[in-house]
């Protein structure tokens, strides 16, 4: 069986964490031990990305009224970047699920 080994995925970005102050940082996601071309490996990689994003961007609770929106924006940006940089079709499909298709009825 062919196993693809990828190095640690590092994503550079601006974070809106730490009291809603923008900080430059590096988010790292370990995926080198996964076969992202299998369903199980892709799901694990996507879970790791989500955990890293939550840790990197911070919690949704904050002290300023705009804080949750900033954290959501950071989470979306970092997830977009991580999924794009990983460039694994199954992980991308998990992030952007296809619209369900409804079959025609008679």
pLDDT of 46 reads 96
pLDDT in tens, 75-95: 999 999 999 999 999 999 999
pLDDT of 11 reads 60
**Distance from first CA to last CA of the chain, Å, rounded?**
45
- For residue 94, CA distances in Å to 19, 28, 33, 69, 90 come to 30, 19, 19, 23, 6
Helix (H) or strand (E) holding 22: none
Q: Is the pLDDT reported for residue 102 higher than 80? A: no
pLDDT of 66 reads 76
pLDDT of 26 reads 87
- Are 95 and 74 a contacting pair, CB within 8 Å? no
DSSP per residue, 27-90? EEE--TTS-TTSHHHHHHHHHHHHHHHHHHH--S--SSTTHHHHHHHHHHHHHHHHHHHHT-HH
More confident residue, 1 or 45: 45
φ and ψ at residue 94, rounded to 5 degrees? -70, -35
pTM of the entire structure? 0.71
CB atoms within 10 A of CB 88: 22
pLDDT of 67 reads 78
pLDDT of 68 reads 84
pLDDT in tens, 9-67: 666 544 344 433 345 688 999 999 999 999 999 999 999 999 999 999 988 776 777 77
Helix (H) or strand (E) holding 26: strand 23-29
């Amino acid at each position: 069986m062919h196993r693809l080994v990828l190095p640690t995925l590092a994503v550079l970005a601006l974070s809106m964490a730490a009291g809603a102050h923008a900080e430059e940082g590096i988010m790292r996601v370990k995926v080198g031990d996964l076969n992202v071309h299998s369903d199980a490996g892709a799901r694990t990689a996507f879970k790791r990305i989500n955990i890293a994003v939550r840790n990197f961007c911070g919690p949704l609770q904050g002290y300023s009224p705009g804080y949750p929106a900033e954290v959501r924006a950071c989470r979306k940006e970092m997830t977009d970047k991580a999924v794009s940089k990983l460039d694994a079709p199954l992980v991308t499909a998990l992030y952007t699920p296809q619209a369900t298709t409804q079959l025609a009825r008679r």
